[in-house]
């Protein structure tokens, strides 16, 4: 298969999958209430995903070597405080990302 044909097939499959994931819930639940189990998943999935993201982000931190995970812990504290203060997930996520990138890029905690 040529590169162009492979790229077009890939784009078509991705577009079809995206369309299907947007269209199927309306087909399945358009005229009735979703099952109770789906409501439980809908309520609990965002915190579970965020917990998995935090665990994934901290998995490679060198806790016994400088800077001992201080940028990560500092950023987690700032994000948690900002989120509890403003209750705005987007603000917390973007501020935490920018803060962590700045701390690591400018070696703020490199004095250890």
In this prediction, residue 23 carries a pLDDT of 92
For the record, the structure tokens of 62 come out as 């060198």
DSSP per-residue string spanning 5-68: HHHHHHHHHHHHHHHHHHHHHHHHHSSSPPPHHHHHHHHHHHHHHHHHHHHHHHTT--TTSTTT
Nearest-angstrom CA–CA distance, 61 and 71? 10
Question: pTM for this structure?
Answer: 0.59
Per-residue confidence band for 111, with pLDDT thresholds at 50, 70 and 90: low
Residue 112 scores a pLDDT above 60 = no
pLDDT tens-digit profile of 96-109?
Answer: 889 888 888 888 87
Cβ burial of 71 (10 Å; 0-12, 13-18, 19+) is buried
What token pair was written down for 89? Answer: 């997930």
For residues 18-41, give the mean pLDDT: 87
């Amino acid at each position: 298969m040529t590169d162009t044909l492979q790229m077009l097939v890939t784009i078509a499959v991705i577009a079809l999958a995206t369309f299907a994931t947007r269209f199927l819930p309306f087909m399945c639940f358009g005229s009735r209430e979703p099952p109770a189990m789906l409501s439980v998943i809908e309520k609990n999935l965002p915190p579970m995903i965020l917990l998995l993201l935090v665990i994934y982000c901290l998995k490679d931190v060198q806790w016994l070597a400088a800077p001992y995970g201080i940028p990560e812990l500092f950023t987690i504290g700032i994000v948690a405080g900002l989120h509890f203060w403003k209750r705005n997930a987007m603000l917390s996520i973007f501020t935490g990302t920018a803060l962590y990138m700045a701390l690591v890029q400018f070696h703020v905690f490199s004095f250890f």
